[in-house]
Amino acid sequence: MPLQRIEAEIAWEAYGFAFPMRIAGTAQTVQVVISNEVFTALGWPPDEVLWAHMDKARSKLEALANAKYEHGRATADGIISITFSDVVSFFQYEALAKRRRARLSGFAALLFGD
Q: Is 101 exposed, middle or buried (0-12, 13-18, 19+ CB in 10 A)?
A: exposed
Helix axes of 84-112 and 58-70: crossing angle, nearest 10 degrees: 100
Residue 97 reports pLDDT greater than 60: yes
Q: State the pairing for strand pair 29-35/79-82.
A: parallel
pLDDT computed for residue 22 by the predictor: 97
Residue 1 reports pLDDT greater than 70: no
Q: Looking at mean pLDDT, say which of 15-24, 88-97, 104-113 comes out highest.
A: 15-24
pTM exceeds 0.85 for this model: no
Q: State the pairing for strand pair 3-5/16-23.
A: antiparallel
Q: Is 47 exposed, middle or buried (0-12, 13-18, 19+ CB in 10 A)?
A: exposed
Cβ contact 30:69 at 8 Å: yes
pLDDT in tens, 16-68: 889 999 999 999 999 999 988 888 887 777 666 666 677 778 888 899 999 99
Q: Domains of the chain by range and CATH?
A: 3-83 (3.30.160.140)
What average pLDDT does this structure show over 61-78?
A: 93
